[in-house]
Chain A
Amino acid sequence: MEELFLFEATPVKGKSLLDMEIALKTEIRALQSELIDQKELARVKAQVLAHSVYEQDSLFYQAMKLGMHETVGLGWQTSEVYMQKINQVTAEQVRAVAKKYLVESQLSIAYLEPQSMLMENKMGANYAH
């Protein structure tokens, strides 16, 4: 239901934000040109399925999920087939959607750069404790 597909990374010391951006894009290109291996696909599926079960360990969230699916017009029944559909996803499909949606022309990039130490200290002093 989300509109955005986000990638986020923080470079280690000695690497620039540009290095980081190139590394991320390399991964995305790999996703578009190669097939992910079965083991990795199985691992991700297990995690997605487990998460979708664990998050139901809350009456509040169960209600929210039903309401959410209904509100956006998918119908509350969507939740029922979710697991089944996740299990059916193939490596080819992953490659296809990566090609279809992760396109350069729709990409926005934001850099968050720390200010100098002097600036930081000053901000710290003004911060209400």
Chain B
Amino acid sequence: MRIKQWISGMVLAWCAMQVFAVAPIQHWQSSQGGRVYFVQSTGLPMVDVRLQFAAGSARDGQYYGLAMLTNRLLETGAGVWSADQIALRFEEVGAQYSAGVNQDYAQISVRSLTDKRLLDQALATFQAIAAQPQFKEDDFQRIKSQMLMELKQQQERPAYIAQQAFYQALYGRHPYAHLSSGSIKAISALTVDDVKQFYQQYYGAKNAVLVIVGDLTEMQAKHIAEQLYAPLEQGRVARPLADVTLPSKSKVKHIDFPSTQTHVLAGLPVLSRIDADYFSLYVGNHILGGSGLVSILFNEIREKRGLAYSAYSYFSPLAKKGPFTMGLQTQNKQRKVAIDVLQKTLHDFIENGPSDSELAAAKKNITGGFVLRFDNNRKLLNYVAMIAFYQLPLDYLETFQNKVAQVSKEDIKAAFKRRVPENLLQIISVGGASE
């Protein structure tokens, strides 16, 4: 294992940052047709590998929670190894395994040193998890009760209840309407066969992207890609999700909950990953509620009126229209005032757009801090996985700052007017009585 001089290490890291700014993502298909994305990052003798499948909770069907249960069950027994043996095999070589699910995808990842002996063992284990999960009944029951217990705990959190109701209000019958953590009723009814079937359907090579970021040569990355894709079933590409239809009318719903603070969420389905208005909406929201202590929302809600400690808004872009969310917490008795201010702030922004100075400051903030968003391998892996999974242009990171710079005040105003119809706004609050 080699370690570089500290000073030159720092210089290298700085150079690497400059290289990241042009992010040379190498892309190819494995001999089996699996998509591979590789970024060479030579600063440290380590590598991150991620397999990401179109197997998120939007594929749950009626079985809310199935995608997450399947994803969590993978590491509890695979190949010839039990859950404990798998954990030990990773531990022995200092490798770290992780997995996760959102609406669109399920992913499994491993981080390892590049020393051949260590990396080989980490990858052999990872490969078994991806391609030969055992799905044993007792492991299934254990993970199932874990998820049920977590869900029961979540019922005691107003933030969770608000989010659940918010997604339901925004998405109605669309598969984005339930949270990835599922529901108690649906999970209780799941069997291990449901998991096996879900795995069969969605964990195939054709439904995956493989992302590799680290200190490897292209040859090594190619070899790893072949090794990981070979044992996977071909499978098939998951069908595209249905388009999202906007709610037919606005909604204001309050859920009583014994808490002193009321959680408020307001929003609509708006932004997809590939969206003509992406940058106008993104930059606009940065000004409206995305920039923390200096956003318009924060100023109106907290600075001017002291209604809450924080107020924010953000877009969560997904394969189909992901939510635009405005949120705050306030004292129960101030709920109605706070909701009024939230709505008025949005209305004024849609009518007037940002000021010239607000726009200039936002652009400076976004482009100035941009390089810090992927100044290490972990963050870079997340970006490359996003680009790979949603098939964004490979020069996404290179062109990002320029696209931000091109956004005009008129673009923002027009995009918000067209895409955020305030007369359809869905408003959810969870908390104690306002009197």
Contact = CB atoms under 8 A, between A and B. Distances in A.
B13 A62 contact: yes
A58 B6 contact: no
Given A47-B94, A59-B375, A80-B3, A53 B13 contact: no
Contacts of B194: none
A77 B1 CA distance: 18
Which of B1, B3, B112, B158 gathers most chain A CB within 10 Å?
Answer: B3
A20 B93 CA distance: 29
A53 B5 contact: no
Interface in B1-23: 1, 3, 5-6, 9-10, 13, 17
Interface residues of A, number: 24
A83 interface: yes
Given A49-B113, A77-B6, A57 B46 contact: yes
A83 B375 CA distance: 24
Interface string A46-65: 11111101101111001100
Contacts of A128: 260-261
A59 B13 contact: yes
B260 A62 contact: no
Which of B92, B96, B118, B261 gathers most chain A CB within 10 Å?
Answer: B92
A62 B10 CA distance: 8
A49 B376 contact: no
29 contacts: A42-B92, A43-B91, A46-B92, A46-B113, A49-B94, A49-B113, A50-B93, A50-B95, A50-B112, A50-B118, A51-B94, A53-B46, A54-B46, A54-B111, A56-B9, A57-B377, A57-B378, A58-B376, A59-B13, A62-B6, A62-B9, A62-B13, A63-B10, A66-B6, A66-B10, A77-B6, A80-B3, A129-B260, A129-B261
Interface of B: 1, 3, 5-6, 9-10, 13, 17, 44-46, 91-96, 111-113, 118, 158, 259-261, 375-378
